[in-house]
């Protein structure tokens, strides 16, 4: 299958015997063969894995160094038919000096050797007793495994068009890791060969360090550390294997395992390239220094049918239960502080919110309540207006009233039926004509009421529309599309539901909690068409434009990840396997692309609202798109799927 810009990488943690080079390289070979079977393209092994890291003064012995070079030569030869690149750690002599090195090889050829730059000499680390720093070594050659190879700290390697770099253990822990320069010079994946012993609390710091460096370099980062076979004398090694991408840990090894491990993940090179293009700070420092790039082509690996990567079906919704409350609280604070500043600036005496009994207006009201609590203003100063129309059901009407009562805001009911019928007569519209004019007239009537009441009361209208509706253009232009401040403008529908659920879970008043839970269970609807014969909602949004969980997935990956339709479809099939088939996903993806382009004019005229997450569509902020842009290129790609 098309790899869609994914690079399959691995951190291998083999069994090891201290100073037994033939045994160690045999275990490397076995894990390399397993990696090849799994479609891995680049696999890294721990620091000094050929000899073992904990050899101590044996590292100065001619016998061990000769044995290491012979075993490495055998490993290079025995793996020559594997369609992958290997990175092994070994002590290598260069002139009269010994270096702690990473040896990069594939198909029987040593491509290059990278020496460790930062040699520690503190605590349990006293490597300077044996090794010199490779700092400043460039454009040199070294004899290794019976071959002569490029030798230098500035080397990067390009495999089938993907450039990667290597650093060793302590290099990562320094103020400016070599990987920072390697990334600026083009490396999109960094491999770290490490042998770092355990200490209480150290692992958490290591995870943060790896994740942060992958984010700082906008790169993939593969960290491979020695396992339990190295646990000798005074030190214990837990076999830390971590694969990160742009700040996110994709895969990690089981610590303190007595078994060999192969940690595999697909790094999204295409997304990394997109992130680097859009990050002007990264671009400003690109090509900051010279480096040597060694290029090679390898046969296409035995690519697995499935990605070694978790695809989140709800990318906007927090998954970490431990930090769920913290994240939800932070979102509410962003929304409420934005509204508080706008109210203070406009000297508004009240906030006017249209309450429908649906999710969006519920979240907007909850944010407004928090804002008034923040400003020390009595909640009764909030004016909630319910405006029943032709499609309003008893369920939503009653939930709107109960919600406002439970939150202690002022309630006003202004029916719109007679006003709309008069308007229909004025413009000559037959009320039985259920066209766009029939629906939009109701939305605009409601907006007019809210705006006029806000003028009367010296307040401002708080918008309720969310990010998903903005993306789809599922709003009436100059109707519910308009407000004086849109608190939900960057909150997608899946996150709206999650936030309201969080409030319900933490609500002390049982009646209000029950109301919130029923609102969550109510089908999403604009309620602009009359209810059915049983009084139930007849106009369900997700039946008309598609499931919001799909649209939010499309929104995230087309905009935030910069993917094309084909890659978005692939990931959606994986993420929603068992929920939606390919035909259904493709149908709604076409709908999303078509509507997103056609409805940009509504976003071009959208009101101010606080940015909450990494995806926002404000024409003054994250998204600059002409209203008349065409979707033809995206639709052609979809037609070919």
3-state secondary structure string, 33-78? HHHHHCCCCEEECCCCCCCCHHHHHHHHCHHHHHHHHHHHHHHHHH
Strand partners, 104: 87, 112
Sheet holding 241-245, edge to edge: 248-252, 241-245, 220-225, 189-194, 162-168, 155-159, 292-296
Of 131, 216, 217, 112, whose CA–CA distance to 169 is shortest? 131
Q: Who contacts 259 (Cβ-Cβ below 8 Å, separation ≥6)?
A: none
Q: Who contacts 183 (Cβ-Cβ below 8 Å, separation ≥6)?
A: 165, 190, 217, 218, 219
Q: Who contacts 390 (Cβ-Cβ below 8 Å, separation ≥6)?
A: 417, 420, 442, 528, 529, 530
Buried-exposed string 390-406: b where 16+ CB fall within 10 A, e elsewhere: bbbbebbbebbbbbbeb
Residue 267 · residue 11 · CB < 8 Å = no
Q: Who contacts 173 (Cβ-Cβ below 8 Å, separation ≥6)?
A: 118, 209
Sheet holding 410-413, edge to edge: 410-413, 382-386, 350-354, 459-463, 485-486
Taking each helix axis as running N to C, give the angle between helix 510-521 and helix 359-375, from 0 to 180 degrees, rounded to the nearest 10.
Answer: 140
Whether 224 is catalytic: no
Per the structure block, which two tokens stand in for 591?
């709908």
Whether 273 is catalytic: no
Count H helices and E strands in the chain, helices first: 20, 22
Q: Which of 47, 163, 527, 549 is catalytic?
A: 47
Q: Which of 8, 116, 402, 602 is catalytic?
A: 116
Of 513, 505, 389, whose CA–CA distance to 443 is shortest? 389
Residue 557 · residue 274 · CB < 8 Å = no
Q: What does residue 115 show for φ and ψ, rounded to 5 degrees?
A: -85, 150
Q: Which of 55, 169, 328, 420 is catalytic?
A: 169
Whether 47 is catalytic: yes
Which residues are designated catalytic? 47, 116, 169
């Amino acid at each position: 299958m098309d790899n869609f810009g994914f690079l399959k990488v691995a951190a291998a943690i083999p069994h090891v015997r201290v100073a037994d080079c033939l045994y160690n390289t045999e275990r490397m070979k076995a894990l390399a063969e397993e990696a090849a079977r799994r479609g891995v393209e680049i696999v890294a092994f721990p620091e000094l894995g050929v000899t073992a890291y904990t050899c101590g003064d044996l590292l100065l012995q001619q016998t061990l160094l000769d044995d290491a070079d012979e075993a490495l030569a055998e490993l290079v030869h025995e793996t020559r038919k594997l369609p992958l690149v290997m990175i092994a750690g070994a002590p290598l002599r260069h002139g009269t000096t010994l270096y702690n090195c990473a040896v990069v090889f594939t198909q029987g050829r040593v491509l290059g050797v990278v020496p460790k730059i930062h040699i520690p000499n503190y605590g349990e680390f006293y490597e300077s007793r044996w090794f010199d720093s490779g700092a400043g070594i460039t454009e040199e050659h070294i004899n290794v495994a019976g071959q002569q190879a490029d030798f230098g700290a500035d080397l990067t390697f390009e495999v089938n068009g993907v450039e990667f770099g290597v650093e060793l253990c302590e290099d990562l822990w320094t103020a400016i890791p070599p990987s920072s320069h390697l990334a600026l010079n083009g490396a999109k994946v960094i491999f770290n060969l490490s042998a770092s012993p355990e200490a209480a609390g150290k692992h958490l710091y290591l995870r943060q360090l790896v994740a942060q460096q992958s984010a700082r370099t906008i790169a993939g980062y593969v960290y491979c550390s020695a396992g339990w076979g190295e646990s000798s004398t005074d030190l214990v090694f837990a076999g830390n294997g971590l694969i990160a991408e742009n700040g996110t840990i994709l895969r990690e090894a089981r610590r303190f395992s007595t078994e060999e491990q192969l940690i595999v993940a697909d790094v999204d090179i295409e997304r990394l390239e997109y992130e680097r293009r859009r990050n002007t700070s990264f671009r400003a420092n690109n090509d900051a220094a010279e480096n040597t790039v060694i290029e090679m082509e390898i046969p296409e690996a035995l690519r697995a049918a499935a990605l070694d990567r978790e695809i989140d079906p709800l990318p906007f919704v927090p998954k970490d239960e431990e930090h769920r409350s913290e994240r939800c609280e932070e979102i509410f604070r962003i929304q409420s502080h934005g509204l508080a500043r706008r109210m203070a600036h406009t000297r508004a005496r009240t906030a006017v919110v249209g309450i429908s009994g649906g999710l969006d207006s519920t979240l907007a009201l909850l944010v407004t309540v928090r804002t008034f609590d923040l400003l020390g203003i009595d909640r009764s100063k909030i004016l909630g207006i319910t405006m029943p129309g032709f499609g309003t059901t008893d369920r939503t009407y009653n939930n709107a009233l109960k919600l406002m009562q439970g939150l202690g805001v002022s309630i006003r009911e202004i029916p719109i039926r007679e006003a709309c019928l008069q308007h229909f007569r004025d413009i000559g519209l037959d009320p039985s004509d259920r066209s766009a004019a029939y629906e939009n007239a109701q939305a605009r009537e409601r907006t007019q009421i809210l705006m006029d009441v806000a003028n009367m009361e010296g307040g401002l209208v708080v918008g309720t529309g969310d990010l998903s509706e903005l993306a789809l253009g599922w709003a009436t232009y100059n109707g519910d599309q308009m407000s004086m401040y849109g608190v939900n403008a960057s909150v997608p529908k899946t996150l709206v539901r999650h936030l309201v659920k969080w409030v319900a879970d933490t609500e002390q008043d049982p009646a209000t909690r029950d109301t919130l839970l029923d609102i969550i269970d109510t089908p999403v609807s604009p309620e602009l068409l009359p209810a059915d014969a049983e009084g139930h909602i007849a106009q369900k949004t997700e039946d008309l434009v598609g499931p919001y969980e799909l649209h939010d997935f499309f929104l995230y990956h087309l905009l935030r990840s910069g993917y094309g339709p084909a890659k978005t479809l692939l990931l959606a099939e994986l993420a929603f396997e068992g929920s939606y088939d390919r035909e259904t996903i493709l149908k709604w993806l076409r709908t999303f692309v078509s509507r997103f382009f056609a409805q940009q004019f509504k976003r071009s005229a959208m009101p101010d609202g606080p940015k909450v997450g990494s995806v926002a569509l404000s024409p003054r902020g994250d998204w600059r798109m002409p209203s008349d842009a065409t979707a033809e290129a995206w639709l052609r790609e979809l037609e070919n799927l």
